[in-house]
Amino acid sequence: MSRVSFHNVPWTEEEREYLLTHAGSKTLEQIARRLNRTYSAMRGQLRLSGTASRHNQGFLSAAEIAKEYNCCYHRVCRMLKSGDIEGRFDKTRNRWEVDPIVLTQEVIKLLGKPRRTHKTWPLDRGDYYSRNGLCRQNINGRVIVVKIGERMIAVPRSRAVASSPAP
Model pLDDT for residues 68-107, shown as the tens digit of each residue: 888 889 999 999 999 999 998 888 778 888 888 888 899 9
**Integer-rounded Cα radius of gyration of the chain:** 34
Residues 65, 70: Cα–Cα separation, whole Å = 8
89 and 47 co-located in one domain: no
Angle of helix 13-22 relative to helix 28-35, nearest 10 degrees? 160
98 and 139 co-located in one domain: no
Average pLDDT over residues 60-75: 89
> Is 33 a domain residue?
yes
> Is 167 a domain residue?
no
Q: Write out pLDDT tens, residues 93-149.
A: 788 888 888 888 999 998 888 777 676 666 666 677 777 777 777 778 777 776 765
Question: CB under 8 Å to 29, separation ≥6 — which residues?
Answer: 39
- Structural domain boundaries enclosing 67: 58-112
45 and 73 co-located in one domain: no
> Is 1 a domain residue?
no
107 and 137 co-located in one domain: no
> Is 31 a domain residue?
yes
Please choose, from the candidates 23, 66, 26, the residue with its C-alpha nearest in 3D space to the C-alpha of residue 46.
23
Q: Could you tell me if residue 149 is left (phi over 0), alpha (psi between -120 and 50 degrees) or otherwise beta?
A: left
65 and 103 co-located in one domain: yes
71 and 105 co-located in one domain: yes
Number of domains in the chain: 3
50 and 37 co-located in one domain: yes
> Is 38 a domain residue?
yes
Q: What is the pTM assigned to this prediction? A: 0.45
> Is 153 a domain residue?
yes
